[in-house]
Amino acid sequence: MALATTSQGIPVLILKEGSKRTTGREALRTNILAAYAVAEVLKSSLGPRGLDKMLIDSFGDVTITNDGATIVKDMEVEQPAAKMLVEVSKAQDAEVGDGTTSAVVLAGELLNKANTLLEDNVHPSIIIDGYRKAYAKANELLTKAAKQIDSSNVETLKEIAKTALASKIVSTGSALESLAEMSVKAILQVQEKTDGQVKIDLDNVKIEKRKGESLLEAQLILGVVIDKEVVHPGMPKRVEKAKIALLDSPLEIEKTEMTAKIQITSPEQMRAFLDQETTILREMVQKLAKVGANVVICQKGIDDVAQSYLAKSGILAARRAKRSDMEKLSRATGARIVTAIDDLSEDDLGTADLVEERRIANEKMLFVEGCKNPRAVTLLVRGSGEMILDEVERSLHDSLSVVRNVVLDPRILPGGGAPEAYLNIKLKEYANTVGGKEQLAVQEFADALLVVPSILAETAGLDPIDALAQLKAKHESNNSSYGVDALSGQIKDMYKIGITEPLRVKSQVLKSATEAALLILKIDDVIAASPPKKEPKGGGAGGAGEGMPEGGMGGYD
């Protein structure tokens, strides 16, 4: 396999022994099949009637999800072309936070249709050109079809959040209403307007999960909530007009790195030695009190002695806060994270109207409200189990993302496969103007788009062929906002029933799916190096890292 042949027919060795090479149609077909297999897995989870997947990792941990990006990530796909689709969903998630299932499913369908053309002996480069043309036209049509909205209208934004949530765990009822509303309020609260430019940092929206109660008990808190309690019973549990110090060094006497011996020969020396430690801790606390701090959040530990000094000074303190929480608190309260207490000054302190420990489901949490920077909010979600809470968190990520998208770019499209049906008809018309074999590729591109309404219809219990025919009939008579209402199982005007999506998400779906399909279609040669030989067990010092996950032992927070 590692051979190439010269024009005189002489074989030459160009690759390392053991390398595998597949070329031409065979390479292309294998790649298409592998990528299509990934898309097939995701198909059944598209839309509000889509089903969930249960994923079990090598440690036995279970995830139940409907989120495309999470499914493909956890599937641990190995085949390189299939991995490209995993990358697509990741990119889609990073760019717009929603539409990850659609992107993968569409990429798979584009490849499937390309495969039909390949079988008919259409050259890949013709398919590529046709797909490129079709994509450019589709993108132009989508942008034209989009409707401008008033991005400060809470009701309109809520509809978009609801469409994103509808396909997730909170698909109906009052939980859907309240989570959609909270997503909108959260985004409007954290948006920053400078010189007519809007900026929204999703990091300013913290999602905190707590087991117990139900989804209905979720709360939006204007501030930061951290999963920590006040460290000493003698400390206040509530501090108004808080002045907050954030420390990332311990309020403890650090043990020396080297082993040292101290010779103590008398009880007095022993006492002096212990006093010395106490004095250092007292001075640390005195310094905090002197600069005016009445709340201390420490990323590391707080010694018992330091705790009682802090309590005596009326300071509320929490220890071992997560780095990410420290950063959020810093942004929200304006405090600087300080390492050396000696350098602490009043300017380093942050402010908040209220810091209070509250009991949530038998556990205590620290609420920091009325922060200096009002652009910091926390969504505290409740639910009966960890798996549910994790899926709610992923769903909220989607609804927050879509609201963010539409505030940044206030153009929307109808959902329920309406834009796909619209593009199908328009691209077919366009194909007639293209001519040649490329025309066939444009037509296949147009048909591939129908995969979305077809799945939505199928999961709603409709006959997809019938539903598509009805849908096309509507679109042919210029009713371009008609789609499949997966809940009632009817073809309806999506704008009328409030199923809308950001243009940004749809354009990105189209873009990522086409890019991935083109990338795979361009490959006609796969050269795979042989996997490295495994060291015999117990042989030599080099075996130390064997079996370790990528990235080794690092990664502790």
Ligand X SMILES: Nc1ncnc2c1ncn2[C@@H]1O[C@H](COP(=O)(O)OP(=O)(O)OP(=O)(O)O)[C@@H](O)[C@H]1O
Residues lying near ligand X in the complex (CB under 6 A) are found at: 46-48, 50, 66-69, 98-102, 163, 166-167, 398, 415-417, 452, 456, 484-487, 499, 501
Which residue, 98 or 356, has its beta carbon nearer to Mg ion? 98
Active site residue 52: no
> 23: exposed, middle or buried (C-beta count within 10 Å: 0-12, 13-18, 19+)?
exposed
Question: Using N-to-C axis directions, what is the helix angle for 464-476 and 451-459, rounded to 10°?
Answer: 130
Q: How far is the CB of 145 from ligand X (least distance, A)?
A: 14
Please state at what angle helix 124-145 crosses helix 503-521, rounded to 10 degrees: 180
Annotated catalytic residue: which of 65, 101, 500, 514? 101
CB atoms within 10 A of CB 181: 17
Residue pair 103/478 in contact (Cβ under 8 Å)? The answer is no
Q: How far is the CB of 449 from Mg ion (least distance, A)?
A: 17
Which residue out of 303, 325, 398, 485 is catalytically annotated? Answer: 398
Q: Give the nearer residue to Mg ion in terms of CB position, either 115 or 171.
A: 171
- DSSP annotation string for 247-305: ESS-BSPPPPSS-------SHHHHHHHHHHHHHHHHHHHHHHHHTT-SEEEESS-B-HH
CA 21 to chain centre: 36
Instruction: Decide whether 317 or 421 has the Cβ nearer to ligand X.
Output: 421
Question: Which residue, judged by CB position, is nearest to Mg ion in the bound state?
Answer: 98
Q: Cα–Cα distance between 350 and 184 in angstroms, integer? A: 27
b/e burial code for range 146-155 (CB count within 10 A of at least 16 → b): beebebeeee
By beta-carbon proximity to ligand X, the closer residue of 326 and 402 is 402
Contact 198, 306 (CB under 8 A): no
CB of 98 to ligand X, least distance (A): 5
74 has catalytic annotation: no
Burial 48-65 (b: 16+ CB within 10 A, else e): bbbebbebeeeeeeebeb
* Residue 399 partner contact from ligand X, Mg ion, none using kind-dependent CB cut-offs of 5 to 8 Å: none
Active-site residue identified among 100, 163, 333, 459: 100
Q: Name the minimum Å distance from CB 99 to Mg ion.
A: 6
303 binds, among ligand X, Mg ion, none (CB under 5 to 8 A by kind): none
CB of 394 to ligand X, least distance (A): 9
466 carries an active-site annotation: no
Q: Reduced to 3 states, what is the DSSP secondary structure of residue 360?
A: strand
* Other CB atoms within 10 A of residue 255 CB: 7
CB 517 within 8 Å of CB 459: no
- 100 in active site: yes
* Residue nearest ligand X, Cβ-based: 415
Name the residues that contact Mg ion, by CB under 5 A.
Answer: 98
**Per-position DSSP letters for 187-209, written without gaps between them:** HHHH-EEETTEEE--GGGEEEEE
Catalytic residue among 22, 65, 67, 303: 67
**Of residues 38 and 224, the one with the C-beta less far from ligand X:** 38
Q: Which CB atom, from 390 or from 524, has the smaller least distance to ligand X?
A: 390
Least spacing, CB of residue 97 vs Mg ion, in Å: 9
Choose the contact partner of 48 out of ligand X, Mg ion, none; CB within 5 to 8 A by kind: ligand X
Whole-angstrom distance, CA of residue 348 vs CA of residue 248? 13
Query: Please, is 190 exposed, middle or buried when counting C-beta atoms within 10 Å of its C-beta (0-12, 13-18, 19+)?
Result: buried
Q: How far is the CB of 132 from ligand X (least distance, A)?
A: 23
Nearer to Mg ion among residue 46 and residue 355 (C-beta): 46
> Please, where are the H alpha helices in 120-152?
124-145
Query: Which active-site residues does the annotation give?
Result: 67, 100-101, 398
